[in-house]
Amino acid sequence: MSTANRPPERRHAPRLNHIRVCDAMHAGVVTCAADTLLRDVARMMVQHRIHCVAVPDIEGKGLAVWGIVSDLDLVGAAAAGGLDGRRARDIAASEALAISEDDVLDRAVQLMSEHQVAHLVVVGAASGRPVGVLSTLDVAGLLAWHENG
């Protein structure tokens, strides 16, 4: 049978309960201070080609992440009166959802769906400190391209 007449290869969706979060996440976390102007947060996203910036603990108690500013948050802020004079703390007021790097993607997808968020902060299993970010786009990439033998 010629290659032109062969049926397309069948790709199977990956088993999300067999893939660890650390294998799908983007390593590293871009952060900004709570008092960073939103226009500067937007510049950070463009410069680093990312969709969210983490805002560490407002009281300076270490690296505990307390909020996320996403590109969608910036769009919402712009639509609700603009970015001028507004700061990261103004739209990152709730605690970010975190997941361990050793958790499986099934759990990550469940958290994203339940809380309707597009980003999870990934924390080190031993340290509990942020080590990366998992986004819905990361999961979509696995669903699109991962072959399950």
pTM for the whole structure: 0.78
**pLDDT one-digit tens code per residue, 92-129:** 866 788 999 999 999 999 999 999 999 999 999 898 88
Distance CA 135, CA 123 (A): 14
Distance CA 81, CA 36 (A): 18
CB 108 within 8 A of CB 21: yes
CATH of domain 16-145: 3.10.580.10
Boundaries of every domain in the chain: 16-145
Q: Which helix (H) or strand (E) holds 66?
A: strand 65-70
Could you tell me which of 34, 14, 21 has the C-alpha nearest to residue 111? 21
Residue with tokens 């937007």: 42
